[in-house]
Chain A
Amino acid sequence: MGEMQELSTFWFVTVAAVKVVAVFTVVMGVVAYMTLAERRVSAFIQDRLGPNRVGPFGLLQPIADGIKNIIKEETMPGTAAKFYFVLGPALAIMPAVVTIAVIPFAAPLPTPVGTVDMVVADVPIGILYILALSSLAVYGIVLSGWASNNKYAFLGGLRASAQMISYEVALGLSVIAVLLLVGNVTLTETVWKQQQLGMWFVFPLSLAFVFFLISALAETNRLPFDMPEAESELITGYHTEYSAMKFSMFFIAEYAHVVTASALLATLFFGGWDIPFWTGDDMFRHESGWIRGFDEAGAPIPATPSVLITLLTLGAFCAKTGFFLLLYIWIRWTLPRFRYDQVMHLGWKVLLPGALGYVMLVAGTMLVLDQLEVPFGPVYGGVLTAVSGVTTLAFLLFVDRDRVIAGAHRKRNLARRRAGLPAEAGDPAVSS
């Protein structure tokens, strides 16, 4: 029943090719419609209509944009370093479209030729593959900024590299908390452990989730972290000199990063394709078959992959990823841009030591729980949830103490108070 039917080499290659094409097509489709969603949602937030002329509800707008971008004239600045100028967009888009390959998007699918993993490549290094390849994304941005031979583009490129290096550290450290709880780096096992724990990692590792969300926003160069582009200071930063399809490639790369980050957030902290409050979809490759869990005696309970479960879990994964895509847009149109020194301060002086301390806290709590021989289950998760909840609350209070992210009038009034002057009128801290 739970016996695994391995794919033959021929079918393995065929299925892998189908998965690659399918996932790539879906990601590109989502990217195209993300541009439309961004414009429609921002319009909704700003009480406008947004593009609604091309096709019903503006649904054909991305296609019109694509055609426009392909037939537009490509400009080549006379003073640019031509080779690197062309290489830049290619280097930017390459890591963006391959990182999604290791994210499992549904429960295994039974087919007549064998059970198929619903992940393009379940590589043994899992999350490290994503971190490694997304760390290469900075080359495209930096090179195109430098090759443009334009001071604004150059500054944008330098800012991008500084920011991405800074936040990579915090991103990696927040992932370590997840890895500690999973005990491995593969994303299939991350999903499985969340099913075993009986709760999604967003609860026992709430602070890691906060850190990861902030770092992921910074890594994708989205508002409030879009310092590399900062229109009001740098025109549009590193892609100032780019036009037509080359510009479009930066755009596609950015949205593909957003899609990957959303899928990763869903997988690491929200159970991936797991359907909440239902153990029927739990499934993991264990020795020779698919199992759903272990019974009291520790013997594996076999699981039965079915098409229905695959479809349902695919739906759950899409819903979670879609939520984070929406959250990305929502944040962009809600928060103002940081100042550059604030970005660096937050990255190095708040997130880095915070994530480091949190890793120690999670490891310490897990050590105590393991010493007390608490089984990996609801109690284990509950204790971690309590510890993390207190820490997260403390962190949020710390961040909101009017120093890291302060309103300008508040700082001015603090300075006035120190100088012995009365506060300005309208200061909520004084008038209340």
Chain B
Amino acid sequence: MTEILFVLFAVVATGGAIGVVTGRSPVASLLFMVATLASLAGIFVLFEAHFLAAIQVLVYAGAIMVLFLFVIMLLNLGHDYRADLKFGAWFLLSLVVVGLTAGVLVQGLTGTDEAGPRGDGAAVAAALDAAVAEKGAVGVIADPLFTDYVVAFELMGLLLLVAIVAAVVLAKPRNPEAGE
């Protein structure tokens, strides 16, 4: 059952991702993107990562993509355009990069790595179940986030703040008089 669902979600996620780059209308691309994000959330649920799934839908599909849609509509980009996809040298280059990445992934996932955390799937799953039972689905993520990784977490927040300030600076008219 899990395998069937996984294949289903994986197919939708991959198909959606292809749709995002090949779609001719920005709105269609956006909806493909939402489908991809939702399928990824489904895969997270299959991995018992319920909290990640909820955040995936809540933050990406529910907030960020809605803002994208907002911008597409405000700029009136919603109509069909010629596809941006060109089959030139860059296309070949990106194919090579994608192939290499896929190769690394296959190598990493099938390679024998007894010492790694994924050495014994059943033991990891049991430990995760115990942790969820003790701390709840959110606590499993929140606990390490606010203890072991709190510095990194706060720095990420700072980085986002810097990005927002930078965006505001970029969006502001350079010459105050010319801005009116």
| Contacting pair A184 B70 (CB below 8 A) | no
| Contacting pair A161 B70 (CB below 8 A) | yes
* Other-chain residue from B27, B50, B61 in contact with A125 (beta carbon distance below 8 A): B50
For A91, the closest partner residue in chain B by CB is: B31
* Other-chain residue from A139, A157, A164, A168 in contact with B34 (beta carbon distance below 8 A): A139
CA distance A125 to B137 in the complex (A): 6
A131 at the interface (CB under 8 A from B): yes
* Other-chain residue from A125, A142, A183, A186 in contact with B73 (beta carbon distance below 8 A): A142
* Other-chain residue from B62, B69, B70, B139 in contact with A132 (beta carbon distance below 8 A): B62
B58 / chain A contacts, CB cutoff of 8 Å: 128, 131-132, 135
B136 at the interface (CB under 8 A from A): yes
A380 at the interface (CB under 8 A from B): no
| Given A142-B73, A146-B73, also A128-B62 (CB < 8 A) | no
Return the CB mask of B52-78 against A: 1 if under 8 Å, else 0: 011101100111001101100110001
Return the CB mask of A127-144 against B: 1 if under 8 Å, else 0: 011011101101100110
- Give the contacts of A85-143 with B (CB-CB under 8 A): 123-125, 128-129, 131-133, 135-136, 138-139, 142-143
Q: Shortest Cβ distance from A277 into chain B, in angstroms?
A: 29
Return the CB mask of B73-96 against A: 1 if under 8 Å, else 0: 110001000000000000000000
| Given A124-B136, A186-B136, also A161-B69 (CB < 8 A) | yes
B6 at the interface (CB under 8 A from A): no
Q: Shortest Cβ distance from A391 into chain B, in angstroms?
A: 26
- Give the contacts of A187-231 with B (CB-CB under 8 A): none
| Contacting pair B67 A165 (CB below 8 A) | yes
* Other-chain residue from A81, A124, A138, A168 in contact with B137 (beta carbon distance below 8 A): A124
A185 at the interface (CB under 8 A from B): yes
Q: Shortest Cβ distance from B149 into chain A, in angstroms?
A: 21
* Other-chain residue from A146, A161, A183 in contact with B78 (beta carbon distance below 8 A): A146
| Contacting pair B73 A128 (CB below 8 A) | no
B21 at the interface (CB under 8 A from A): no
CA distance A207 to B160 in the complex (A): 30
B132 at the interface (CB under 8 A from A): yes
Q: Across the A-B interface, how many residue pairs have beta carbons closer than 8 Å? A: 76
| Contacting pair A136 B53 (CB below 8 A) | no
How many residues of chain A are within 8 Å of chain B by beta carbon? 29
Q: Shortest Cβ distance from A177 into chain B, in angstroms?
A: 15
B62 / chain A contacts, CB cutoff of 8 Å: 132, 135-136, 138, 168
* Other-chain residue from B69, B74, B137 in contact with A185 (beta carbon distance below 8 A): B137
For B67, the closest partner residue in chain A by CB is: A165
CA distance A162 to B67 in the complex (A): 9
B73 / chain A contacts, CB cutoff of 8 Å: 142, 146, 154, 157-158
| Given A132-B58, A136-B61, A158-B73, also A184-B138 (CB < 8 A) | yes
| Contacting pair A125 B53 (CB below 8 A) | yes
| Given A132-B58, A185-B138, A186-B136, also A124-B63 (CB < 8 A) | no
B137 / chain A contacts, CB cutoff of 8 Å: 124-125, 185
CA distance A154 to B66 in the complex (A): 15
CA distance A132 to B40 in the complex (A): 14
- Give the contacts of A280-316 with B (CB-CB under 8 A): none
CA distance A84 to B132 in the complex (A): 41
A-B contact pairs, 21 of them (CB 8 A): A124-B132, A125-B53, A125-B138, A128-B51, A131-B58, A132-B61, A133-B57, A135-B63, A135-B66, A136-B57, A136-B62, A138-B62, A138-B66, A158-B73, A158-B74, A165-B63, A165-B67, A168-B63, A184-B139, A185-B136, A185-B137
